[in-house]
Amino acid sequence: MPETLDAIDRRILRALQRNARMSNVELANEVGLSPSPCLRRVKLLEDRGIIDQYTAVLNGPAIGLGLTVFARIWFKTQDAETTNQFAETVRKFPEVAECYLTTGECDAIMRIVTADLHAYWRFQSDYLMRIPSVQSVKTDVPMETIKRSYELPLG
């Protein structure tokens, strides 16, 4: 069951999604609380698992990881053992930024980040295609990023 959030909780979460590095005093000012109650609310949001983690969002091209691709994966079979083996293997690959099991045309979708197309080709042939449960991989290469956000819509 989803957690119930009041208006102040949502303001706190919106502000932290935009800038998790702001000080508690800055956050309190932005959401209209004094620092102590603001800090208590943030701690409760963390304790309830609503705030999952704090992280830095890196600029891939600035660190030599300029290519993002989306790989659609088809499995040889669709039993639990196949799915579990696939998931266990994929979690070990740092190139896989996100991976979702899906319904529809393919069995899984991944967002993969590498230096360039050649590095992706090596990753696909040396790792993805060697996963025993993978039958085939189709890759989509985006031409332009229109929107990239890590903020969840809080209403």
Which residues of the chain are under the pLDDT cut of 70?
Answer: 1-2
The pTM score is 0.87
- What order of strands is seen across the sheet that includes strand 67-75? 96-101, 108-114, 67-75, 134-140
Between CA 108 and CA 99 the distance in angstroms is 7
Pick from 62, 47, 64, 48: nearest CA to 114? 64
Q: What pLDDT score does 43 carry?
A: 97
The answer to whether residues 108 and 122 touch, using CB atoms and an 8 Å cutoff, is no
Q: What pLDDT score does 1 carry?
A: 53
Q: What pLDDT score does 127 carry?
A: 97
Q: What pLDDT score does 155 carry?
A: 79
Please provide residue 110's backbone torsions phi and psi, each rounded to the nearest 5 degrees: -125, 145
Q: What pLDDT score does 144 carry?
A: 93
> Checking DSSP bridges between strand 67-75 and strand 108-114, what pairing results, if any?
antiparallel
Q: What pLDDT score does 3 carry?
A: 72
